[in-house]
């Protein structure tokens, strides 16, 4: 299992608000290399599968319907210390708590519409990347 990769999604709010380019620019400027990239849309079913770990949480239904409400961008990123550095780059889950200059501080509106996803472990980065990309789609 790779320890230098993470998985991200630019969520429907940030796509709808025209922030794809700015967010990808912030990501590459921070030293992440794009290994795979896809503009796509989740259905209720695929969003439910992706977030199955949160099934028992009170916000699960809202999260699934939000994540399938519009197109997203999915990507696998590579950098030393990718998981931790990417979570620093995006900031706290709730943009109200996100440090100045982080992606969520700049582009997110609320805890549910929080602009981006970042994997929380090497294991989940692998699982989440595999959810969206075949081996032939990684470069």
Catalytically annotated residues: 117
Report if residue 69 touches ligand ATP, rule: CB under 6 A.
Answer: no
Could you tell me which of 108, 107, 94, 119 has the C-alpha nearest to residue 32? Answer: 119
Quick one: which of 22, 24, 30, 63 contacts ligand ATP (CB under 6 A)?
Answer: 63
Determine if residue 94 is labeled as part of a ligand binding site: no
Other C-beta atoms closer than 10 Å to the C-beta of 121 total 11
Rank residues 103 and 139 by Cβ distance to ligand ATP and give the closer one. 103
Task: Say if residues 40 and 116 touch (Cβ distance below 8 Å).
Answer: no
CB 83 within 8 Å of CB 119:
yes
Annotated binding residue at 66? Answer: no
DSSP assignment, residue 52?
A: G
Residue 85-124 contact track with ligand ATP, rule CB under 6 A, x = bound = --------x-----------------xx-x--xx-x----
CB of 32 to ligand ATP, least distance (A): 15
37 alpha carbon, distance to own chain's centre:
12
Chain positions contacting ligand ATP, by CB under 6 A: 59, 63, 93, 111-112, 114, 117-118, 120
């Amino acid at each position: 299992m790779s320890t230098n990769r993470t998985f991200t999604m630019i969520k429907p709010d940030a796509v709808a608000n025209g922030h794809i380019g700015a967010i990808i620019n912030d990501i590459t400027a921070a030293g992440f290399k794009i290994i795979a990239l896809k503009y796509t849309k989740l259905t209720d079913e695929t969003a439910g599968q992706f977030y199955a770990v949160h099934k028992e949480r009170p916000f699960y239904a809202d999260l699934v319907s939000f994540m399938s409400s519009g197109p997203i961008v999915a990507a696998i990123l590579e950098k030393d210390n990718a998981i931790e550095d990417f979570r620093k780059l995006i900031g706290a889950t709730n943009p109200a708590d996100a440090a100045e200059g982080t992606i969520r501080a700049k582009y997110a509106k609320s805890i549910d519409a929080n602009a981006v996803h970042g994997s929380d472990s090497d294991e989940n980065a692998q699982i989440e990347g595999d959810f969206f990309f075949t081996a032939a789609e990684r470069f």
